[in-house]
Structure 1
Amino acid sequence: MVSILPKTAKGEIFGFLGPSGAGKSTVQNIMTGLLPLQKGDVLYEGQSLKEVSPDFYNQIGVSFEHPNLYSKLTAQENLVFFSGLFDTPTEDPIKLLDMVGLRESARKKAINFSKGMKQRLVFARALLNNPKILFLDEPTSGLDPTTANKIKGIIYQKKKEGCTIFLTTHNMMAADELCDRIAFLYNGKIVAMDSPRALKLQYGKKAVQVEYRDNKEIKSKLFFLNNKDELKAFNEIVSSQNVETIHTQEATLEQIFIKLTGRGLE
């Protein structure tokens, strides 16, 4: 099990990253009370999860990686049913379905939904009670780029509203784009934790790749900017040549994970 669970702040998107089978979903299930703790504790505002009142579940929303829906109910009926489980005001189901692009499918049974549609419905369900803490497990899995961007936009909006978001994923691009901080989980331990930018600066090269046109020939050169001579040469190229492209050589999150653990995030 994870040795240290990170402390998250209000309005923060925290990414919990690791390969399939690393235990990300298990940690989320423990943090939401679905699985019992075998060792250690989970604290919410200083209070143990073992001691929280039933009202705690009025304050959290959970979107599971594998959609768990009532397949014989329509999308709207699913949301209406689950809204009745809360002892707090809930959002209008049609409004939520509209937000995730399912308004026209409100009266269709979930059994006829595609994987992506089910994923969006589960995500909408997590927003029913306007949660203070949102647990998202692979929220963009199975979604096309346009729909995934819509879901990311909703996540950003919830962050602006002060919602704390705990995101478990092995999608490095989504984590890099969304998260304020990330933790890499491997073999039950957090092997690195910081902002995506800080991790890339720590493990990446301080270098740029420059493509420039010399007469009719395209040339490419890599400059390491922490070297004074190469920094001078880079400035000379930029000021004297017809530069076509400049790319930083920062490490990707997946490259960092491989460097730390020796394996990929598939």
Structure 2
Amino acid sequence: MKQEFIQVNQLSKKFKGETALKDISFSVRAGEIFGFLGPSGSGKTTTIKILTGQLAQTSGQAFVLDRPVESIDESIYEQLGIVTDNSGVYERLSVYHNLSAFAKLLKVDKKRIDFLLQKVGLYEEKHKLASKLSKGMKQRLVLTRAMLHQPKVLFLDEPTSGLDPVTTEYIHALLMEIRDSGTAIFLTTHNMNEATKLCDHVALLNDGLIVEHDSPKALTLKYNKDKRYQVLLRDGQEVTLPHTVEAVQKLNRWLSSDDVVTIHSNEPNLEQIFLEVTGRELV
């Protein structure tokens, strides 16, 4: 069984009497992408700040790489990567010099810079000033910096928010490669399609409370209470069939006569599950 790199037990946080997190518990293993999902203001960023030692919890326990978050220091930071919405770059430095500054700080061989720039598609831009980069390129630069020292745990707070589809796909492929290398990735997002594609496990967060926690596939199966099948026939008809004996017989006849072009089951997606569980949409 893979090692647990993040452990959270009954964690709570209050701000001036208002509860931001309510006794949440979960764990994240090596080589796993864990999605922490919820709308803005649900407590996602607060959780990252606690897990990275930037904010103290009100009660409960949390451990990162077996170290209590209260005692996180430079020795742990050298094993963490963090990308948040305020992860800036040195605008007046080139792409390469942004990374070389951190390579020196983290005692990383500078040969790794060119290797990573090629990975993220920024090698041809290495001498360009950071101020001249597009938003997508800057996000790739920030992600590259977070990976420079090959962290054991990577915290990503809405890493693809506002990016174009091509850049988003690029980052998704990179994250799956990082996961496969053994890094634990803690991903916050309100994009349920992104979570379904990337995450091994997800926790649905609403008003500081985890309301569901499992793999995306397990959740869609759990909430697939009204089983239906969408069928496209060769004559252009689109038919929705219920899960009944009669419907199965009809489908078998269509299949036997090669009349079916496509067939899809209609499990709910994570967004629909969130709406069912909480009564609210992800906004």
Question: Given the two structures, how large is their TM-score scaled by the length of structure 2?
Answer: 0.85
Report what 2:247 is aligned to: 230
Report what 1:109 is aligned to: 129
Alignment check: 8 A CA contact 1:22 1:185 kept? yes
Cα distance between partner residues in 2 of 1:128 and 1:102: 14
Query: SS in structure 2 opposite 1:69?
Result: coil
1:16 correspondence with 2:33: no
AA aligned to 1:208 is Y
Identity %: 42
1:82 correspondence with 2:82: no
Cα distance between partner residues in 1 of 2:31 and 2:183: 5
1:209 correspondence with 2:230: yes
Report what 1:173 is aligned to: 193
Cα distance between partner residues in 1 of 2:229 and 2:196: 20
Cα distance between partner residues in 2 of 1:114 and 1:146: 13
1:198 Cα deviation from its structure 2 partner: 0.7
Unaligned runs of 5+ in 2: 1-20
1:53 Cα deviation from its structure 2 partner: 4.7
Considering fraction of residues, name the structure with more strand: 2
Could you tell which deviates more after superposition, 11-20 or 202-211? 202-211
Cα shift readout 1:230-252 (whole Å, capped 9, x = no counterpart): 32332223223511221221111
1:88 Cα deviation from its structure 2 partner: 6.0
1:61 Cα deviation from its structure 2 partner: 0.6
Count of residues in Structure 1 that have an aligned counterpart in Structure 2: 262
Q: Over the residues paired in the alignment, what is the CA RMSD in angstroms? A: 2.0
AA aligned to 2:227 is K
Which of 169, 172, 187 matches 2:207? 187
Cα distance between partner residues in 1 of 2:127 and 2:41: 36
Cα distance between partner residues in 2 of 1:149 and 1:219: 33
Question: Given the two structures, how large is their TM-score scaled by the length of structure 1?
Answer: 0.90
Could you tell which deviates more after superposition, 189-198 or 61-70? 61-70
AA aligned to 1:236 is R
Query: SS in structure 1 opposite 2:56?
Result: coil
Which of 137, 141, 151 matches 1:131? 151
Alignment check: 8 A CA contact 1:90 1:128 kept? no
Cα distance between partner residues in 2 of 1:60 and 1:11: 14
Cα shift readout 1:57-77 (whole Å, capped 9, x = no counterpart): 111111113441122222111
Report what 1:258 is aligned to: 275
Query: SS in structure 2 opposite 1:62?
Result: strand
Cα distance between partner residues in 2 of 1:34 and 1:86: 19
1:186 Cα deviation from its structure 2 partner: 0.6
Report what 1:3 is aligned to: 23
Cα distance between partner residues in 2 of 1:68 and 1:230: 56
Report what 1:31 is aligned to: 51
